[in-house]
Amino acid sequence: MSDFQGILQQLGFGEQVEENPKFGTFAGVFVPTVLTILGAIMYLRLGWVVGNAGLLGALLIIILAHVITVTTGLAVSSISTNIRVGAGGAFSIISQSLGLEVGGSISVPLYLAQGISTALYIFAFAEGWQRIFPTHPTYAIVLTAFAIVFSIAFISARFASRIQFLILGIVGFSLFSIVLGSFPTAVQPGMVYEPVLIGSFPDGGFWFVFSVFFPAVTGIMAGISLSGDLQNPRQSIPKGTMSAIAITLLIYVALAFWLARVATPDELLQNSTVMVDKAYFSWAVLAGLLGATFSSALGSLLAAPRVMQALGNHGVLPYGRFFAQETDAGEPRHAMLATAVIVLLAIGFALFGGGLNAIAPLITMFFLITYFMLNAVVLIEQTLNMVSFRPTFAIRRIVPLIGMVGCLVVMVLINPLFSLVAIILALFVYAYLIHRQLNAPWEDVRSGLFLSLARWAVERVSKLPTATERTWSPNILAPVSSTKALRGSYRFLTAMTLPKGSIHIIGIYPPEQPAQLADVETLARAFLTDGVAAWASLLEENDFIDGTRAAMEVLTGGFFRPNLLYLPWPSIGSRERVAWLLKRAADLPHIGIALFAQHPIVGLGQEQVINVWMREQGPDWRLGLRLANLDLAVLMAYQIRQNWNGRINLCMVVDEEATRQAAQTFLEELRNLARLPSNTAILVMVGEFWTAVSQAPAADLSILGLQSHPNLDFVEKVVKIMDASCVFVRDSGDESALA
């Protein structure tokens, strides 16, 4: 090993040994990052920036751009020491925290930005080439340069890395030549100028100039995107990225001072290769320009296909397996070919749309979105404060917050319309990926995020007055010894709970016999698929009644507690078991009862008509805020009617004709105050209850009240006479149909 390599290893930039195909910090992160940052914008546009903004304006642009880059670099460095960064760089980081959908929605624009960056650097190379050969047409230089860059990248990343070492030396010597050009003895008399501090921005406003400059500091993605080719991403990304940012920031600030003193604003605006003219060795700067722009194009063309390969590996892209394929040496050839097409399209756009300055703002927007999300990931992880987030390189919350706000503000100031288009594109990709239902090979923090929000909400709600009447929704507790009964009433339960209700299934099984409830989790997932929040728990207990009692007493004591006990009749067992469960539930506060008897043949019929049976409300016939065991019946009818798109009949039987009108008025007032649909019919019948029931219009579901001490003979007789599905309900006291 050479002395040079030994020194690099001591500094933490250890290069890989020859037999290891992956890169170390120096070759894998530091070199591509430095060469991409010290590239096209530095050689060809920094003078233009100083000419437009003046020295102080240029320094402000440089510092603002680096505020975003430094905060993002620190954020990426922090989180990369907490996770195993896989292939794809930013894609891997975002996906492991916020899921494949968010990672993919951000990384698709990032991939496009890196592909377009290749075109930007090739055009910069053409500008430098035309300084030597001004008669060569731009299109010929660009296409030839692209062919060479693509050929090198296509051969192997290792071959490209060796070329970058040579280019790094050339760039270093060009900067040394610029330093020599700063001494008075190296310039002619009269060639040192008093710097213009504030420019007049003749070519565009401050934020336009900023958008053209910003791609200069996006080079950190060149190293981060090669994460899959690094020996140790956890160490290499922080060291390589932050050291590259620090060094290049000093170089840009020094060059801004130098340009402001060696050239007039007009020279800076009109001569894109002013550095070549003002350096001590013009040929050295020209060589650095060509080398740096060539290397930047090469670095972007190496990084973009690897992002695409990672997207393909996880099914984010259509035909992902095709793009994810690689050679035995690890080269993503198919992704490379697809990226070449993107670059050629960008080159065509630039040739006919304004060249370098037309491409730079597009790249700026895409990178800003990526930077915003990288900072957001770290801020979310820090805010959740979970034990799993313990990076060895810790930063304060203010750092990613500044990065997020900076990215968002700069996006809006540069171009609000295009910012909106870029965000809509990311949201469109996100919606598409949500529809794809991707399966990630890792766990993310999304559940923790919502759990923290729920915990925060619980703490706030606990300090507020209770408002169960206004916030009531059916949260069902369903104890079962077999899931057959629940499967039979699946459609009824779905209609009763959608869209805001929930179901907690308690599978109660004898000791060491859980197999009979093996499908309880599958049933819960089926409810989830249909939009019903559902959970499943197993409870080992010899006696079903004891198990149900324990479940009710434990679960009804929590914050997210069930408020409705669901019992399917008669599958839960003997009449004695049903009677005990109903009595026990009646003794518990804040829990209602729904005893469902489904017709064995017609089931729920056409799922259209719902009859709500109410007992006579005389003699006062007054409506208060609470109804006498009618609130749950009315609310359940309304809930099911919405999901069925059906209609409700309010039914009542009175003893004599004289009270018919009072009953009619009562039900009409109830319909209005309960805000039931206008097509809700009112049926008042005179006579004996059992006769009226047999003569009432047929319904797909009948809802009746259940006494505090239920008469099960009455329940059996109603089910038999109505010859349809019935549900018997008892209020918990928390419902109000009139609230």
State the average pLDDT over residues 71-99. Answer: 78
Helix 90-98 to helix 282-313 angle (10° resolution) is 40
> pLDDT tens-digit profile of 167-219?
889 989 999 888 887 665 444 444 668 888 888 889 888 988 888 888 788 77
> pLDDT tens-digit profile of 558-570?
666 788 889 887 7
Among 343-347, 391-395, 572-576, 636-640, whose mean pLDDT is lowest? 572-576
Question: Looking at the predicted structure, is the pLDDT value of residue 11 above 50?
Answer: no
Q: What is the pLDDT of residue 384?
A: 74
Q: What is the pLDDT of residue 352?
A: 76
Indicate the pLDDT class of residue 440, thresholds 50, 70 and 90. Answer: low
Q: What is the pLDDT of residue 684?
A: 93
Q: What is the pLDDT of residue 375?
A: 87
Residue 54 region, left (φ>0) first, then alpha (ψ -120 to 50), else beta?
Answer: left
Q: What is the pLDDT of residue 443?
A: 58
Residues 6+ apart with CB under 8 A from 713: none
Class of domain 465-570+584-592: alpha beta
Query: Which residues, listed in sequence order, are joined to residue 569 by a DSSP beta bridge?
Result: 597
Equal fold, 465-570+584-592 vs 599-739: yes
Residues 6+ apart with CB under 8 A from 55: 195, 196, 197, 256, 257, 260
Q: What is the pLDDT of residue 2?
A: 43
> pLDDT tens-digit profile of 242-284?
999 999 999 999 999 999 988 889 999 998 888 888 888 888 9
Indicate the pLDDT class of residue 637, thresholds 50, 70 and 90. Answer: very high
Strongest mean pLDDT among 154-163, 339-348, 460-469, 636-645: 636-645
* CA-only gyration radius of the chain, Å: 36
> pLDDT tens-digit profile of 21-32?
577 888 878 888
Instruction: Report the CATH fold assignment for 599-739.
Output: Rossmann fold (3.40.50)
**Of 415 and 6, more confident:** 415
In whole angstroms, give the CA distance from residue 615 to residue 632: 14
In whole angstroms, give the CA distance from residue 508 to residue 523: 15
One-letter amino acid identity for 350? A
What is the number of alpha carbons within 13 Å of residue 486 lying toward its C-beta? 26
Q: What is the pLDDT of residue 112?
A: 83
Among 4-18, 46-60, 365-379, whose mean pLDDT is lowest? 4-18
Residues 598, 734 contacting (CB under 8 angstroms): no
In whole angstroms, give the CA distance from residue 131 to residue 333: 34
Indicate the pLDDT class of residue 587, thresholds 50, 70 and 90. Answer: low
In whole angstroms, give the CA distance from residue 159 to residue 153: 8
Residues 409, 375 contacting (CB under 8 angstroms): no
In whole angstroms, give the CA distance from residue 331 to residue 160: 12
Q: What is the pLDDT of residue 3?
A: 44
Residues 605, 709 contacting (CB under 8 angstroms): no
In whole angstroms, give the CA distance from residue 467 to residue 460: 13
Indicate the pLDDT class of residue 703, thresholds 50, 70 and 90. Answer: very high
Express as a percent the part of the chain with pLDDT over 70.
83
Average pLDDT taken over every residue of the chain: 81
Indicate the pLDDT class of residue 349, thresholds 50, 70 and 90. Answer: confident
Indicate the pLDDT class of residue 19, thresholds 50, 70 and 90. Answer: very low
Q: What is the pLDDT of residue 464?
A: 62
Per DSSP, the chain holds a count of helices (H) and strands (E) of 31, 10
Instruction: Report the CATH fold assignment for 22-436.
Output: Amino acid/polyamine transporter I (1.20.1740)
Indicate the pLDDT class of residue 356, thresholds 50, 70 and 90. Answer: low
In whole angstroms, give the CA distance from residue 426 to residue 558: 39
DSSP line for 192-214: --PPPSS---TTS-HHHHHHHHG
The DSSP symbol for 559 reads: S
CA distances from 218 to 37, 41, 221, 368, 569 (A): 7, 11, 6, 9, 66
Residues 518, 480 contacting (CB under 8 angstroms): no
Reported pTM:
0.67
Sheet holding 475-480, edge to edge: 533-540, 502-509, 475-480, 564-569, 592-597, 725-730, 701-705, 609-614, 647-654, 681-686
> pLDDT tens-digit profile of 511-542?
877 666 778 888 888 998 888 989 888 888 88
The DSSP symbol for 728 reads: E
**Of 82 and 403, more confident:** 403
In whole angstroms, give the CA distance from residue 276 to residue 223: 28
Q: What is the pLDDT of residue 8?
A: 42
Of residues 208, 177, 203, 175, the one with CA closest to residue 51: 203
State the average pLDDT over residues 487-492. Answer: 88
Q: What is the pLDDT of residue 183?
A: 63
Question: Looking at the predicted structure, is the pLDDT value of residue 18 above 60?
Answer: no
CA distances from 292 to 73, 135, 312 (A): 22, 22, 30
**Of 549 and 166, more confident:** 166
Query: Which residues, listed in sequence order, are joined to residue 66 by a DSSP beta bridge?
Result: none
Express as a percent the part of the chain with pLDDT over 90.
19
3-class state of residue 173 by DSSP: helix
Question: Looking at the predicted structure, is the pLDDT value of residue 71 above 60?
Answer: yes
Question: Looking at the predicted structure, is the pLDDT value of residue 141 above 80?
Answer: yes
In whole angstroms, give the CA distance from residue 316 to residue 314: 6
Question: Looking at the predicted structure, is the pLDDT value of residue 652 above 90?
Answer: yes
Question: Looking at the predicted structure, is the pLDDT value of residue 735 above 80?
Answer: yes
What is the number of alpha carbons within 13 Å of residue 79 lying toward its C-beta? 31
**Of 624 and 73, more confident:** 73
Residue 444 region, left (φ>0) first, then alpha (ψ -120 to 50), else beta?
Answer: beta
Of residues 16, 12, 35, the one with CA closest to residue 24: 16
CA distances from 181 to 256, 268, 280, 510, 527 (A): 14, 16, 4, 89, 74
Query: If residue 477 lies in a helix (H) or strand (E), which one and from where to where?
Result: strand 475-480
In whole angstroms, give the CA distance from residue 382 to residue 360: 33
List the domain boundaries for the chain: 22-436, 465-570+584-592, 599-739
State the average pLDDT over residues 375-404. Answer: 84
> pLDDT tens-digit profile of 124-136?
888 888 888 889 9
Q: What is the pLDDT of residue 420?
A: 82
Residues 277, 271 contacting (CB under 8 angstroms): yes
State the average pLDDT over residues 33-58. Answer: 88
Q: What is the pLDDT of residue 633?
A: 92
- Give the chain's length: 739
Indicate the pLDDT class of residue 5, thresholds 50, 70 and 90. Answer: very low
Indicate the pLDDT class of residue 12, thresholds 50, 70 and 90. Answer: very low
Residues 382, 397 contacting (CB under 8 angstroms): yes
Q: What is the pLDDT of residue 447?
A: 62
Of residues 5, 2, 31, the one with CA closest to residue 236: 31
Dihedral sign computed on CA atoms, order 52, 58, 62, 67 = negative
3-class state of residue 595 by DSSP: strand
In whole angstroms, give the CA distance from residue 724 to residue 611: 11
Among 199-203, 273-277, 485-489, 585-589, whose mean pLDDT is lowest? 585-589
Residues 565, 592 contacting (CB under 8 angstroms): yes
Question: Looking at the predicted structure, is the pLDDT value of residue 680 above 90?
Answer: yes
Tokens found for residue 704: 């009746």
Q: What is the pLDDT of residue 441?
A: 58
> pLDDT tens-digit profile of 48-60?
999 999 999 999 9
> Where would I find the H helices in 229-355?
233-262, 265-270, 274-278, 282-313, 320-324, 333-353
3-class state of residue 600 by DSSP: coil
Of residues 448, 500, 445, 447, the one with CA closest to residue 472: 500
In whole angstroms, give the CA distance from residue 611 to residue 50: 80
Place of tokens 């206008």: 678
* Beta-sheet pairing, 647-654 with 725-730: unpaired
Tokens found for residue 76: 């990426």
Tokens found for residue 86: 């896989």
Question: Looking at the predicted structure, is the pLDDT value of residue 1 above 60?
Answer: no
Question: Looking at the predicted structure, is the pLDDT value of residue 647 above 90?
Answer: yes
Q: What is the pLDDT of residue 4?
A: 43
Q: What is the pLDDT of residue 357?
A: 56
Query: If residue 648 lies in a helix (H) or strand (E), which one and from where to where?
Result: strand 647-654
Residues 128, 294 contacting (CB under 8 angstroms): no
Residue 492 region, left (φ>0) first, then alpha (ψ -120 to 50), else beta?
Answer: alpha
Of residues 114, 328, 141, the one with CA closest to residue 223: 114
Indicate the pLDDT class of residue 446, thresholds 50, 70 and 90. Answer: low
Among 423-427, 626-630, 658-662, whose mean pLDDT is lowest? 626-630
In whole angstroms, give the CA distance from residue 410 to residue 179: 33
State the average pLDDT over residues 363-376. Answer: 82
In whole angstroms, give the CA distance from residue 666 to residue 651: 11
> pLDDT tens-digit profile of 397-408?
999 999 999 888
State the average pLDDT over residues 283-287. Answer: 89
